A = this chain, B = another copy of it.
Amino acid sequence: MIKVGVFGYGVIGRRVADAVLAQPDMQIVGVVKTKPDYKARIAVSKGLPLYALDNESRRIFEAAGYKMTGESKDLLIESDVIVDASPGKIGIKNRDIYSGLGKKIIYQGGEPADVADASFVAQCNFEQVERKDSVRVVSCNTTGLCRLLSAVDSSFGVDKARVVIARRATDPDEPDKGIVDAVGLDPVSIPSHHGPDVNTVLPNIKIISAAIKIPTTHMHLHTLMITLKDKSTTKDQVIETLNNTTRLVFVSEKEGFKTTGQVFDYGRELNRNRSDLYELIVWKDSINIVDGELYLYCGVGQEAIVIPENIDAIRALIGGYSKDSSIRMTNQTMNILK
């Protein structure tokens, strides 16, 4: 049993903890939580051992009536693998704390690429990161792009990918960080960082990205325009390739999917924790090829798409699993559609 500790219990940490609980070969040591809010209360009700960040944080929890299993330094000792699910740019500050203990560390995509030995998307480079000391699971948008582009590239060759990302402004549990009746240019300059971030996993794909921020909370929406190397590629061939790609599912207008709203609703029908969507969503009827250029729309559930990647990253760092066996195990335990 791989012993996993989770640093942080926000959007990502909560989901990683539940996913670890669902794995037959893993055991959760506990989670580090900073504040005694409702998330802490529910973690306790699920039987998750709570660790305070430090001594001061421990006193705050105890004053609020919590019994703490320990502090973050204790969690570090008990764990084989640490999943750092801190807010962006905090993971890299934690690196010093983690170093020298001989633990495997997983960072999230909000950290700079050089925080870890490699960046990671399971179906793209599982083998390359095996038994490394640390790995960075790339961000939700990058994960989605890597799943799609690696499949398209290996079948038809990507000459150049262009993507415009309409980013949800904030997560549902932090509505105050949002935007109202406006589009943010995020950033104003083009290209955005997403293209280079894809290249941390898929170094050979030429990609240009731009990103805008819009008043929604549930999903990023990607518009993709991909010049293919194989100019004879047909729409049906692309559909077949994507149909055979794991963690990527089709939706279509004729089944009622005209907006991301129906996709969110679809996630709620799947009997999953938090109604989460782990799959990259591709509108099948948006797929088109004109003059050797492939067009399509994708939806990226920003909260959950990286969770199966975190689970596979744990196995990759520990070693002894093939890529396919790890992905299969994760998909089955998390009820991933394909």
- Is A164 part of the contact surface with B, judged by Cβ < 8 Å? yes
Q: How many copies does the complex hold?
A: 4
Are B274 and A269 in contact, with the CB atoms below 8 A? yes
Within 8 A of B (CB), among A293-328: 293, 295-297
Q: Which residue of B256, B260, B295 contacts A191 across the interface (Cβ within 8 Å)? A: B295
Chain B residues contacting A257 (CB-CB under 8 Å) are 38, 188
Interface SS, A side: mixed
> Is A265 interfacial (CB 8 A cutoff)?
yes
Structural contact, B182 and A261, CB atoms closer than 8 A: yes
The verdict on A264 contacting B172 (CB below 8 Å), with A181-B218, A190-B288, A275-B275 known, is: yes
- Size category of the A interface is 35 or more
29 contacts between A and B (CB under 8 A): A35-B256, A42-B269, A42-B270, A162-B225, A169-B180, A172-B261, A175-B180, A175-B260, A176-B184, A180-B216, A183-B219, A183-B221, A183-B259, A184-B258, A185-B259, A188-B252, A188-B285, A190-B288, A190-B296, A191-B295, A208-B225, A208-B293, A214-B214, A214-B215, A214-B216, A268-B273, A268-B274, A269-B274, A275-B275
| Residues of A in contact with B (beta carbons under 8 Å apart) | 14, 35-39, 41-42, 162, 164, 166, 169-170, 172-176, 178-185, 188-191, 208, 210, 212-219, 221, 223, 225, 251-253, 255-262, 264-266, 268-271, 273-275, 283, 285-286, 288, 290, 293, 295-297
